[in-house]
Amino acid sequence: MDRRTFVKATGVAGIAGLAGCSGGPSGGSTAESTTESGGSDSGDEGGETTAAETTTSDVAANVGMVYATGGLGDGSFNDQAQQGALQAEEELSISFNEAQPDEVAQFKTFQQQFAQSTDPNYDLVCAIGFLQADALSQTSESYPDQNFMLVDSVVEAPNVASYTFKEHEGSYLAGLMASLLTTRDFSAGAGSTTGDSTSVGFVGGVESDLIKKFQAGFEAGVSAGSGDVDVLTNYVGGFNDVAGGKEAATAMYNSGADIVYHAAGNTGTGVFQAAQEQGKFAIGVDRDQSITKPSYADVILGSMVKRVDTAVYNAIESVVNDNFQGGSVVSLGLEQDGVALIEGDQLGSELPQDVTDEVASARESIIAGDISVPSTPQ
């Protein structure tokens, strides 16, 4: 029985005592991701400290993962972050424990529980998502000897390595593809465009500077494809509101949009549901969602992937190699393969060649500096 099977079989009840003694997060889910579950179980308060993790002394490093709200199973942001930890577990012989906060107010608690744990001592605590920045600015100051990494925001502290992405660059390519397709008659899978559409849609999770980078790039790409296409925008207000995502996207499709791009975590599942019901298309985010959400692959044109897994893995590797750079800020864009537009698993081969060629050309132009993509909506 491997360690992850042991985690699942032991369950929370058998581990609660160890979790309480260690000071790490207690209760909650196993370390496995169920990408089709549509999100974490309600009431899940975080990762669990396992017997294997607390008694194993030959691991290269112990890592704590505090995920964004929405939890594992989103087929998107959190699952992508977990992939980096799983890769490090396999290749670097590390051990990691996970916490899945239900709300922003829990971030500080889980960060501190990992930081003050003594069994095990965590060599690195990963804070996944920009909403953790405020809590981490306090936690990092309270625990100056603890190494932290943060995804999607910057905390200026000597014990925090910050990783950001140029989401606007990848979103530009998504907007360009959407614009080029919505202005022609095109059908594939379960979706179609009419050719006379003058709008596409963008569904965001929490309205914030970060998510507005997705919006800004998408809008710029749409304009580059056609000056006659407008972008309908709706911020649902959360990253785990499937019903809200479906309602927002349905309204856009009913208003004439053929294609909706989301940057909304598990809320985006509702966008895919609406696309199927309306016979339209959607564009995923963070991971190749035609793979992680296969039941919607027949309407997912592509996904703007964001290599959060790379950021997590690189941070863990730096700790293992004893060259962790606290206070550093790493920005990953198209040139660094930190973001990319990936064609859908089912629909990619159906995309018109001239569209894929123009998107590929735009990618090279952005990398060369010939196209400057705005990071704030115009």
Q: What is the pLDDT of residues 201-222, one digit of tens each?
A: 999 999 999 999 999 999 999 9
Calpha distance 269→276 (Å, rounded): 11
Average pLDDT over residues 95-107: 96
Higher pLDDT, 43 or 203: 203
What's residue 58's pLDDT?
A: 83
The SS3 assignment for 38 reads coil
Pairing status of strand 281-286 against strand 300-306: parallel
| Within a domain: 377 | no
What's residue 354's pLDDT?
A: 97
| Within a domain: 340 | no
What's residue 24's pLDDT?
A: 60
Pairing status of strand 230-235 against strand 160-165: unpaired
What's residue 79's pLDDT?
A: 94
pTM (predicted TM-score): 0.81
Tell me the CA distances in angstroms from 159 to 71, 325, 333, one per residue in order: 26, 8, 24
- Going by C-alpha positions, the residue among 79, 99, 301 that lies closest to residue 190 is 301
Q: What is the pLDDT of residues 235-280, one digit of tens each?
A: 999 999 999 999 999 999 999 999 999 999 999 999 999 999 999 9
What's residue 20's pLDDT?
A: 30
CATH number of residue 248's parent domain: 3.40.50.2300
pLDDT bucket at 197, cuts 50 / 70 / 90: confident
Q: What is the pLDDT of residues 161-181, one digit of tens each?
A: 999 999 999 999 999 999 999
Looking at the fold, whether 27 and 161 belong to one and the same domain comes out as yes
- Indicate whether 37 pLDDT > 50: no
Looking at the fold, whether 161 and 50 belong to one and the same domain comes out as yes
Average pLDDT over residues 55-83: 89
* Cis ω for the linkage preceding 294 (within 30 of 0): no
- Going by C-alpha positions, the residue among 40, 42, 43, 55 that lies closest to residue 10 is 55
What's residue 34's pLDDT?
A: 30
Total domains, the chain:
2
Domain that holds residue 231: 167-306+347-368
Calpha distance 234→251 (Å, rounded): 10
| Within a domain: 338 | no
| Within a domain: 376 | no
Looking at the fold, whether 249 and 355 belong to one and the same domain comes out as yes
Looking at the fold, whether 355 and 220 belong to one and the same domain comes out as yes
% residues pLDDT > 70 (the chain): 85
- Indicate whether 62 pLDDT > 90: yes
* Residue labelled with tokens 């971030």: 107
